[in-house]
Chain A
Amino acid sequence: MNKILRNKRTGDAIFSGLFLLPIILLVGLFIVMPIIQSVIMSFQDYGARNLISGKPGTWNNFENYKSLFRSGLIANSIGITLRFVAIVVFFEFFIGIILALILNSKIKGARFLRSLMMMPWVVPTIVSALIWMWIFQPQYGVFKALVEFLSGGAVDNFAMLNNPQTALWGIILAALWKLTPLMTLLLLAGLSNISEDLLEAATIDGANKFKLFWKIILPSLKPVIKVSVLMAIIENFKQFPLFWTMTGGGPDGATETLAVLSYREAFVSFNHGSGAAVTTIWLLIMIVIVILFNMAFRED
């Protein structure tokens, strides 16, 4: 009997190994190895020359990091990235939870509204960028007309993306437009899992709407909130096409996030070492934030 069991175990192991091989190869060769390589590259002088000749990079005594800090580029990018992520995630959650509560309140046509709501989410990111650029267009844009109308004609030359003060907000709007639907959908799924009995019992006990929300709905949603907010943080940290298309990091570096900076260093200036240094710093920041986030949301 023991032998048969052991045979089954061996067979299971072979079968598992066989079926797991493709994903292990893919993740190993295309994710783990490149990450390690780019961390190594960040300590090297590695540019277009090395790419063409195939010569390995040479150790350059932290020069990539030093020059990024010396020029202030990295500090600027870290600040902008953190601001962007914090603002977008906050509003995504805020709008998302309100919308989810409304759509969950047995409103007429909720299913139809839910489908309609998801439309921006299926629009390709680059198309989202183009739609918003057209809305913000400095001469003929509809947003300029809206601002002119709302200010009673006082502001007649509003150019969202061309002004360092407002450019980031233009991209924040586009990101919110594209990403809030998914957040709402996930929160809505969480809401529909809360048992009716619990809500009813609390209402009978005299809890008003706000108490119901703080004491019952929010705590029961905690696991869903954790996942969807974490997804939003990671997603926005990685945001690239919106920035690259809408402003290219400008004007005057006002929207140059870590993603834009690393891409420009590596693929426009062809200084792969410097680009890799940016992504290494970026990776470290992300790991710290995810750890902090998980600590904050730890199950008590």
Chain B
Amino acid sequence: MFDFLAYSFMQRALISGVMISGVGALLGTFVILRRLTFFSDAISHSALAGIALGLLLGINPFFSAIVFCIAAALWVKRLREMTELTEDILLGVLFASATAAGVLIIGFLKGLRVDLFQFLFGDILGVGTIDIVFSAILCVLVAAALFIFLEELLGVSFNPDLAMVSQERVRLYDYLFMVLLASAIAASIRIFGVILVSSLIIIPASVARNIAGSFKQMLLISVVVGIISSIGGLISSYYLDTPSGPTIVIWSMTFFMLSLLFRRR
């Protein structure tokens, strides 16, 4: 029954899937509260340009994607503060131009066969040991930062005016959240791909929002749904011979549909 565990690629996929979906689900609760779903989508698309740039310059694409995602998130945040432009305009510009830049750069990669499909939809079964180590370090850092600064990040997300009165360094926590989100997105690209990564963040948290009676419950439900979807999706993709990333998304989507039946209010 557990014959899939005999394969090292499945072991690696399960370990990284659980880690990434757990951290993504935690961040998702804040993304939902701040109504940043389009933001996480735009940042994940900008990762494509980061990966392509890394391949072009001979840098590890994982690092270049992290740097690019963080830079894109800070660019949007800074420009939002400095100009009258609304966030949806800036994200719309980023979304389209970063994807276009990524595809163009991939076109320049002479002699290197790049599977665009893999970047768009992820390749959890192709995760190497080094990918797991990088992901683990990043996940531990993001989860630790979330736990340590939970109340501050929640305060800034819940109502910035109240946060400004009751705590100092509101902008710092605002930027910290953007950096954490961008880092988690970049860490998830290898597994879930540019297109599916935001679903990993949004759907488990949306399930939790529908049925939780408190913020603590929301965190717990979101993480449990994220992890079960990841494990269930991976195992069923193994037996059904379907692509892993999309199968995981369908699992969490099923949880979302079920949560509508038990929705509070």
Say if A and B assemble together: no
Residues of B within 8 A of A (CB): none
